[in-house]
Amino acid sequence: MALRSAVCRLLVNPKRCAIISASRSQGSAAPAQKDAEKASEKKAKASKVQFNWRDGLELEGQLTEEEIMIRDSFRDYLFHRDIVSEMGELGVLGPTIKGYGCAGTSYVAYGLIAREVERVDSGYRSVMSVQSSLVMHPIYAYGTEEQKEKWLPRLARGEILGCFGLTEPNHGSDPGGMETRCDDGKVRGFILERGMKGFTTPKIEGKFSLRASATGMIIMDEVEVPEENLLPKVSGLGGPFGCLNNARYGIAWGSLGAAEFCFHAARQYTLDRIQFGVPLARNQLMQKKMADMLTEITIGLQACLQLGRLIDAKKAAPEMISMLKRNSCGKSLDIARQARDMLGGNGISDEYHIIRHVMNLEAVNTYEGTHDIHALILGRAITGLQSFTVNN
């Protein structure tokens, strides 16, 4: 009864009656009026918003002019191989640091740079990230004024390259268990230079991943470090974790740049490749894979943009960075693997570069906190319970 009553009220609503009446009168309208309606419908169809698959949620429109300019300069520049030594000249080493020869730009701009660099190669982005977030940031955040003035301008110009050492052969995801100790027994940050007695950095050979970026071991045997090389403003694991969070943010952007390259390469390949008389891209399974790639990349970029805005506003929590580092790396690796599969046998050829991104992203998904470690960080935030160890 209540339903019938509601229907009756709708039918006797004067506004509703007017609409019904108008629609009936249109049925007997003059031909000229019908032509006008058709013209109006045609105009409406012509003005329909077109979907841009390259920018699914209009990220471009959310960027400032300065951020677009910085991004575009790297998109054009990074097709040249000989770039690492020139990064300093462009002002993108330590770009968020204010003063000391650094650009002092936004975190969003830094993320956009990382995205463009890793679109070319994860090794290039690693060099930029380590120099900016793991070398320059700790000196800027935890160092003395004398240390900042001595090191930051030279690092910003690319005159010297730095590296970051934290984990050990027996302690990867558990840096608190490291066996290397300084005299006071606390976790401290030190600036070490090649040439110090007992300090060597042999190159790690045999890598299948990040081959564009040289990686070395750090061996310290009774190294005597002068007091002026101690970073005095922090002790404990909060210092290195602060550096890692800074780097993880850039990784969240950068890995999506690699995913974009793989997506675009797979799209073009399947459009050009003819099988059974038609382009591979006409296959429903191929289109489904590309739809999934586009969706994950687009959503990931929007999340990174929001995180960058929050960091610039000093409203970001470390768990936000963990969430996006984990999501971006995992999704990007999945996309790269799918793209490799779409190219069939050509997917493992260096002619198409996708397999290089697959191998690189395997490392990117692992360093700066593995997929599982970031899951535990998020799980702790969700439940309030620590699950890294079996201890109470």
Q: What is the pLDDT of residue 309?
A: 95
Q: Is the pTM of this model over 0.85?
A: no
Q: Compute the residue count for the chain.
A: 392
68 lies in some domain: no
Residue 205 per-residue DSSP state: P
Q: What is the pLDDT of residue 11?
A: 33
Question: Any catalytic annotation for residue 37?
Answer: no
CB of 272 closer than 8 Å to CB of 75: no
Please name every residue paired with 189 in a beta bridge, in sequence order, or none if there are none.
Answer: 231
Neighbours of 175 (CB within 10 A): 15
346 lies in some domain: yes
Neighbours of 370 (CB within 10 A): 15
H-helix or E-strand spanning residue 125: helix 122-129
Radius of gyration of the chain (CA): 28
Q: What is the pLDDT of residue 234?
A: 83
Amino acid at 262: C
320 lies in some domain: yes
Q: What is the pLDDT of residue 13?
A: 40
371 lies in some domain: yes
**What is the CATH number for 324?**
1.20.140.10
CB of 243 closer than 8 Å to CB of 164: yes
171 lies in some domain: no
Rounded Cα distance between 57 and 347, Å, is: 29
H-helix or E-strand spanning residue 98: strand 98-99
Cα dihedral angle (238, 243, 249, 253), rounded to 10 degrees?
Answer: -160
CA atoms 260, 265, 271, 277: torsion sign: negative
Crossing angle between the packed helical segments 14-27 and 2-11, to the nearest 10 degrees: 60
Tokens of 265: 């390469």
CB of 198 closer than 8 Å to CB of 245: no
Tokens of 233: 């403003």
Mean pLDDT in each 10-residue stretch from start to end of the chain (392 residues)?
35 37 43 66 67 82 87 61 72 92 93 93 90 93 95 92 82 71 76 92 89 85 89 84 89 97 98 96 97 98 96 93 96 98 95 95 93 93 85 58
314 lies in some domain: yes
**What is the chain's percent helix, strand, coil content, to nearest 5?**
60, 5, 35
DSSP string, 241-300: HHHHHHHHHHHHHHHHHHHHHHHHHHHHHHHH-EETTEEGGGSHHHHHHHHHHHHHHHHH
282 lies in some domain: yes
Can you give the residue range of the structural domain that contains 351? 239-383
Rounded Cα distance between 141 and 138, Å, is: 5
Residue 220 per-residue DSSP state: E
Report the relative pairing of strands 219-220 and 102-103 from DSSP bridges: unpaired
Q: Is 18 helix (H, G, I), strand (E, B) or coil?
A: helix
Cα dihedral angle (232, 237, 241, 243), rounded to 10 degrees?
Answer: 20
- Residue 163 burial (10 A CB sphere; 0-12, 13-18, 19+): middle
Tokens of 99: 């003063």
9 lies in some domain: no
Please name every residue paired with 275 in a beta bridge, in sequence order, or none if there are none.
Answer: 278
Tokens of 81: 């191989």
Which residue is catalytic, options 67, 116, 118, 368?
368
Q: Is 161 helix (H, G, I), strand (E, B) or coil?
A: coil
Structurally, the chain folds into a number of domains equal to 1
The alpha helices in 28-121, defined as continuous H runs, are 31-46, 65-77, 87-90, 107-120
